[in-house]
Amino acid sequence: MVWLLILLVFVLWFVFVRYRNRHKRKLANLCRNNRMSLPIIGVAHHFIGTEEDRMKALMKIGREAIKQGGFAGGWLLNMLMVVIADPFDAEEVMRVSLRKMDGLDITEDLLGNGHMFAKVPIWRPRRKVIAPMLSQKNLEMFLEVFTRNSENMIDKLTKLCGQPISLSKYITAYSMDAICETSLGIKMDIQNNQYHPFLLAFQTFEKMVVDRLMQSWLYPDFVYKLMPCYRIYKKQTDILQEFVKQVILAKRIKFRDIENENLAECDQLQNQQNSRKSFLEQLIDIGYNDIDLQEEMLVLILAGTDTSAAGASFTAVMLSQHQHVQDKLYEELMEVLGNSDRPLEPSDIPRLKYLEAVIKETLRLYPPVPAVVRMVEKEYILPSGFKLVPDVGAVIHIWAMHRNPTFWGNDAEDFRPERFLDNNLKHPAAYMPFSFGVRNCVGARYAMTSMMTVIANLVRKFKLLPPKNVYSHGSQKRKKTKPLRTKFDIIMRHVDGYEVQIEERR
């Protein structure tokens, strides 16, 4: 009798779920790429395996979307995900659906209401405050920070000429030093301290978030808190938050001291400070409380460090494999900066057109964030005619969009920076390494300036070559290079650790 009752409840539940999901099932049937799916688990099995396998699965589904005119989809367990590789549809999703995917709130322990993954009502006012801080005017002031820190990196690399080196470690340290100095206003000197507790905690935290993201049964907090790994995870969040808390405290004490000084001295100090204020100081001025400050600082560091490092490192690898592009870039650098060691100045940035094109072309082929997911909250029809329904995850497949031949031509897979010189985008959303619309990357301009500085300084000082064991670089002939092997953890990275070889230019 009890069994019969359980069976009845189960059948009723099953019928209810099927009825509730009827619109989603209709949409799933339209996706047409069902051959990638298995019953119950959907496409989840494609994402099992190594980080490289995961990236391969993402690429496969992206190509599938391109083949089907820009739209594909599949069930990820009980969640329907539609995959979009068409800029017209992507633009509409980015306009209408501002909510981030639910699973991403697993970073909430660290970031709290930090605006990156925050719910829309919290995100909107915070974004309004942060955006002007990353404006062009402020970035010009930060150029000195980028230059000084990239020069530190160059000094380290000079000792490694003539041997294969993995750039990732050096550029990530540069990137973290720069972002911490501009955000928190402190010099971390990670470049000289690879075992800095903040760096180690940051890297362990990222790895643990990815492990959890890939095991959906660990999403509920009460389950994760029962796992032995939770203690390690909690320790990392504590280290990161405590570090930032101490910096905020020190800054507040300093501000209080300034207030207590006599007015003349105060004015003098204030003038000095105004000449370059960190994001933290600007937010204190606005009146943010300590918790909000901590959340926003951690968001900027988390969002800005690895992404910019990956962008610059991919660019260096692409330059090492395309000597004719590197030669042309070197010529531009000589033309704009002369044969000197002088640091980059704000007025140089808009003149370095080819450098910008090289970085943009790298981010097209190797976008550090290869896809973003938005939650659909209300029903709407896309320009392609597909009707999205609530609770569907819309995956904007940046990687596939950037290789869609309808918008990039038949040479979409080739590395050709020149395509960015004529600025002939067929649709503004066809290129979106920093995402698109009002919730795009707030740090896009900051990231471009940081990457331009570090690549300009690298190429002025060194000739970048592929490591000897991968390609013979004796010949200057252009040859078709293989696509880079990539993997996907929290972002997309190079499987071979961005390995290059450097030779000092005379």
What whole-number distance in Å separates Cα of residue 327 and Cα of residue 332? Answer: 9
The structure tokens listed for 153 are: 């990196």
Q: In sequence order, what are the residues at sequence separation of 6 or more whose Cβ sits closer than 8 angstroms to the Cβ of residue 250?
A: none
Question: Considering only residues 358, 429, 442, 464, which one is a binding residue for ligand HEM as defined by CB under 6 A?
Answer: 442
Number of residues that bind ligand HEM (CB under 6 A): 24
The C-alpha atoms of residue 110 and residue 105 are separated, in whole angstroms, by 10
Q: Which token pair is 383?
A: 């320009």
Given candidates 74, 87, 112, 311, which one binds ligand HEM under the rule CB under 6 A?
311
Task: List binders of ligand HEM among 115-144 (CB under 6 A).
Answer: 115-116, 123, 127
| C-alpha distance from residue 189 to each of 176, 310, 450 (Å) | 9, 20, 17
| 43 or 176: CB nearest ligand HEM | 176
Alpha-carbon distance values, 123 to 115, 118, 126, 392 (Å): 5, 5, 5, 21
Q: In this complex, which beta carbon is closest to ligand HEM, that of residue 323 or of residue 453?
A: 453
Q: What is the smallest separation between the CB atom of 335 and ligand HEM, expressed in angstroms? A: 26
Cα four-point dihedral sign 115, 428, 325, 485: positive
The residue (of 236 and 362) whose beta carbon lies closer to ligand HEM is 362
Task: Decide whether 90 or 329 has the Cβ nearer to ligand HEM.
Answer: 90
Amino acid identity, position 48? I
Q: Which is nearer to ligand HEM, 307 or 404 (CB)?
A: 307
Which residue from 332, 325, 369, 363 is spatially nearest to 349, judged by alpha carbons? 332
CB of 367 to ligand HEM, least distance (A): 6
d(CA 53, CA 485): 11
Pairing outcome for strands 387-388 and 380-381: antiparallel
56 binds ligand HEM (CB under 6 A): no
Q: How far is the CB of 95 from ligand HEM (least distance, A)?
A: 11
Closer Cβ to ligand HEM, 43 or 312, answer by number: 312
Part of the chain binding ligand HEM (CB under 6 A), chosen from 80-88, 257-265, 435-443, 469-477: 435-443
* Residue with smallest beta-carbon separation from ligand HEM: 443
Please work out, in degrees rounded to the nearest 5, the angle formed at the alpha carbon of residue 364 by the alpha carbons of 59 and 97.
75
Which among 157-165, 342-350, 439-447, 475-483 is the span making contact with ligand HEM, rule CB under 6 A?
A: 439-447
The yes or no reply on residue 362 touching ligand HEM (CB under 6 A) is no
Among 435, 449, 453, 501, binds ligand HEM (CB under 6 A): 435
Stretch 367-426 residues interacting with ligand HEM (CB under 6 A)? 368-369, 372
In the complex with ligand HEM, the residue whose CB is nearer, 115 or 403, is 115
- Which of residues 93, 209, 248, 300 is near ligand HEM by CB under 6 A? 300
Q: Kindly tell me which of 43 and 93 has the beta carbon lying closer to ligand HEM.
A: 93
Selected from 42, 112, 417, 443, the binder of ligand HEM by CB under 6 A is 443
* Phi, psi for residue 36 in degrees, rounded to 5: -80, -10
303 binds ligand HEM (CB under 6 A): yes
> Measured from the CB atom, is 112 or 433 closer to ligand HEM?
433
Q: Give the range of 101-109, 349-357, 412-420, 427-435 binding ligand HEM by CB under 6 A.
A: 427-435
Q: Which residues fall within 8 angstroms of residue 259, CB to CB, at 6 or more apart?
A: 266
DSSP states along 437-476: STTS-TTHHHHHHHHHHHHHHHHHHEEEE--TTT---S--
Residue 294, C-beta contacts closer than 8 angstroms, at least 6 positions apart: 112, 241, 244, 245, 248
Residues in contact with ligand HEM by the rule CB under 6 A: 115-116, 123, 127, 299-300, 303-304, 307-308, 311, 368-369, 372, 433-435, 439-443, 446-447
